[in-house]
Amino acid sequence: MQWASLLLLAGLCSLSQAQYDEDPHWWFHYLRSQQSTYYDPYEPYPYEPYEPYPYGVEEGPAYAYGSPPPPEPRDCPQECDCPPNFPTAMYCDNRNLKYLPFVPSRMKYVYFQNNQISSMQEGVFDNATGLLWIALHGNQITSDKVGRRVFSKLRHLERLYLDHNNLTRMPGPLPRSLRELHLDHNQISRVPNNALEGLENLTALYLQHNEIQEVGSAMRGLRSLILLDLSYNHLRKVPDGLPIALEQLYLEHNNVYSVPDSYFRGSPKLLYVRLSHNSLTNNGLASNTFNSSSLLELDLSYNQLQKIPPVNTNLENLYLQGNRINEFSISSFCTVVDVMNFSKLQVLRLDGNEIKRSAMPVDAPLCLRLASLIEI
């Protein structure tokens, strides 16, 4: 009986050894099977691979061991585009819109230009009181369809583009925070004295290409205004008083026939004045009208001048072409001509007048010694 037991044990050992000889890596599989069932109590979770995150997110700890949060509700109008990389801007331009869509509260820049919008109803911007820019140019907006208090809650608005519409009146009241106001290419006929009241931060006002006949004293309170464009209108008079900070004044293509004496001295920073294509005559100009020490460029071309008006010696560019000037008076540039007194004029255009080059006085080269171009 003992011999039988020994023989049975020897057979089992031979069978096991044969299996190990067939798979020399049996021990590796054994350890791996033991590891798969081993759990380290110091690890918070066993290692498990997870699927990539949904909604375009590749990976992140927030979704690793739970269901993703529901998508955020859509807060951009279907008619517009709100790019994720510029979350405070809404683009609704060039889409044939006939109305103003809802504006989410987070928006600061909205672009509605080049549509068919004809009205701005009350309250359309009340939800987005933090707006900085509103672009509404290139539409069909009329004055009778603009709510009187449509801008009343926009206390941070800086730029308003209403050009290329069908406005016949100045909109208002306007936010005091405005810095740029674009109203050009409309059908506005007048600017009432109180139309721009309170706009002390306004730096640029564009009113060109309208039908304005009168401005009055509407500009006087604009103490921060740097640029004023009233070109291509029907003005017969210049505005009653200019802002003190004004640097650029554009009045070309009007019907202005006179400018008061010392008119520009109230704007000591004025650099550029354009009065071309008007009806100016020498009778409508006083002797000191353009004697402003700050002026660098003066355009009086295409008027009805017969004499060169006196200008300050600091002037650098003077355009007088297309008038009726028939004499070259050096006193218009230099009251005294000597080595120490001369004009800083660099460009002088007198072509298209009734004057000839031979009419230049002999002391002209001494007075205009800095001129690089004198066109006669």
pLDDT above 70 as % of the chain: 80
Q: What is the CA radius of gyration of the chain?
A: 40
Q: Report how far residue 318's alpha carbon sits from residue 289's, in angstroms, rounded to the nearest whole number.
A: 14
pLDDT, tens digit, 9 for 90 and up, residues 226-270? 999 999 999 999 999 899 999 999 999 999 999 999 899 889 999
Token pair, residue 180, equals 């740029």
Average pLDDT, the chain: 85
Find the Cα–Cα–Cα–Cα dihedral 277, 278, 282, 284, rounded to 10°: -160
Place of tokens 């504006």: 103
Query: Is the bond preceding residue 83 a cis peptide, omega within 30 degrees?
Result: no
164-218 pLDDT tens trace:
999 999 999 999 999 999 999 999 999 999 999 999 999 999 999 999 999 989 9
Tokens of residue 29, six digits: 């599989």
**Which helix H or strand E contains 31, and what residues bound it?**
helix 26-36
> Best-predicted range by mean pLDDT among 58-67, 204-213, 358-367?
204-213
| H-run or E-run covering 206 | strand 204-206
Q: pLDDT band at 74, cuts 50/70/90? A: low
Question: At residue 219, what are phi and psi to the nearest 5 degrees?
Answer: -90, -15
> What is the C-alpha separation between 318 and 303, in angstroms, rounded?
14
H, E, C per residue of 267-310 = CCCCCEEECCCCCCCHHHECCCCCCCCCCCEEECCCCCCCCCCC
User: Is-above-0.85 flag for pTM?
Assistant: no
Q: Residue 207's closest CA among 226, 222, 190?
A: 190
